[in-house]
Structure 1
Amino acid sequence: MSRLQCRLLAATRTPVSYSPPTHQYVRSFSQTCSKRDEPKRTPSLLSMLPRSIQSTQPRGPPRLGASGGGDMSALQRILAQDSIAKARNQPTSTEQILSNEDEKKEDWGPPNEPFHFHIYSHKHNCHITVTKPNRGAIISMSTGNLAFKKAKRGTYDAAYQLTAYVIDKLHQGNWHKNITAMEVVLRGFGQGREAATKVLLGTEGRMLRDKIVKVSDATRLKFGGTRSPKPRRLG
């Protein structure tokens, strides 16, 4: 201590106690050690399952001699069911729960509006689009997506294969179960117009043919406007 501090203490004559600053750090260190030594609580196996599965489990205190046995048996039963569902190529319990929630949340539009099967065919290509009642597209493809090139895209065979492929994709997505009414919208006078109708009336369209309630033509016609280009003359 300096001489100035000694004179100040002698003038006040008050007892001064010095506390080493290490006690505060030791206390905080002991507290952190005690927190680390506390055992961590591990969640039960039943709490890790989805809520819908937890609600099916019996509630109440566990039986004597069966602590944790109920959780293990429930988990083993669910895992066995999931493995069987995977072997049969069926959705598991968790996938089914998520898919049901997504179906409930999705809004397809007004219930009176049908699904739409648009067929746009011209001399160079053929486009097919299937939409929901709210005009949201389910699938949209053209003959170019089936590896047809250049002039082959506008042929009858290309449009036939495209329509069959689109209907097969709808069957794989189980859309034939959700579609209750469907409207076929034709546009253009290409070769794909007749090819698509042949597929819908054939064996490929047997699942959707009974659900067609309306057939409309949306071909655009010209009224007035600018003059058309000069027709091509060969020879």
Structure 2
Amino acid sequence: LHCHSTRNNTITTLTKETGEPMVWFSGGSCGFKKGNRATYEAGYQCAVRMFRWIEEYQKTTPDLQVDLFFKGFGQGREALKGALLAAEGERVRQLVVTITDRTPIKIGGTRAKKTRRL
């Protein structure tokens, strides 16, 4: 389970062990538009939808294990963590084996892209 969280959106993707995506949800696909995609609530709803999908998928695959990968520092990161610790994530929490932070940290390097403004 990959959680890519930026200032503008949160994207959660469930992949197979090979890295092939099975399903993904984002703030926009959960019904949030424009600036609302960047909110905590959008990230939370995105996580809850993913948890429901995992619970349904677990019925067909009983020996399911989940590795959780975080990327980025957006509000959706905390929202996914909060949803996992809440009642909605109780079943999925038992499936989580590892939690990894894959946020790239820039040290020097080239000039950054122009910041996006909504």
Q: Per the shorter chain, which TM-score range?
A: 0.7 to 0.9
Please give the per-residue CA displacement for 1:39-90, whole angstroms capped at 9, x wherever unaligned.
xxxxxxxxxxxxxxxxxxxxxxxxxxxxxxxxxxxxxxxxxxxxxxxxxxxx
Query: Relative contact order (alpha carbons < 8 A, sep ≥ 6): 1 or 2 greater?
Result: 2
**Percent identical residues:** 34
2-structure distance, mates of 1:230, 1:202: 37
Mapped pair 1:126 → 2:10: yes
TM-score in terms of structure 1 length = 0.45
If the length of structure 2 is used for normalisation, what is the TM-score?
A: 0.86
**Of 68, 72, 75, which residue of structure 2 is paired with 1:188?**
72
Specify every segment of 5 or more residues in structure 2 that has no aligned partner in the other structure, as ranges: none
Give the alignment partner of residue 171 of structure 1, picking from 44, 55, 58: 55
1:204 aligns with 2:88: yes
The residue identity in structure 2 corresponding to 1:193 is: R
Q: Which has the higher strand share?
A: 2
Once the 2 structures are TM-superposed, how far is the Cα of residue 228 of structure 1 from its aligned partner?
3.6
Q: Partner of 2:110 in structure 1?
A: 226
Alignment of 1:116-155 (within 5 A): 117-155=1-39
* Conserved 8 A contact 2:11-2:25: yes
Greater per-residue helix proportion: 1
Aligned length: 114
Alignment partners' CA distance in 2, 1:218 and 1:227 = 21
Q: Residues 128-180 of structure 1, C-alpha deviation per residue, up to 9 Å, x if partnerless?
A: 0011112122211211011211000000001101100111122223267241x
The 3 A distance-change label for structure 1 pair 118 and 229 is closer
In structure 1, what is the Cα distance between the partners aligned to 2:23 and 2:63?
15
Contact 1:176 1:208 in 2 (8 A): no
Q: Distance in 1 between matches of 2:21 and 2:81?
A: 20
CA distance in structure 2 between the partners assigned to 1:175 and 1:139 by the alignment: 15
1:229 Cα deviation after fit: 6.3
- Cα gap change, 1:197/1:225 in structure 2, threshold over 3 Å: closer, same or farther? same
Q: Greater Rg, structure 1 or structure 2?
A: 1
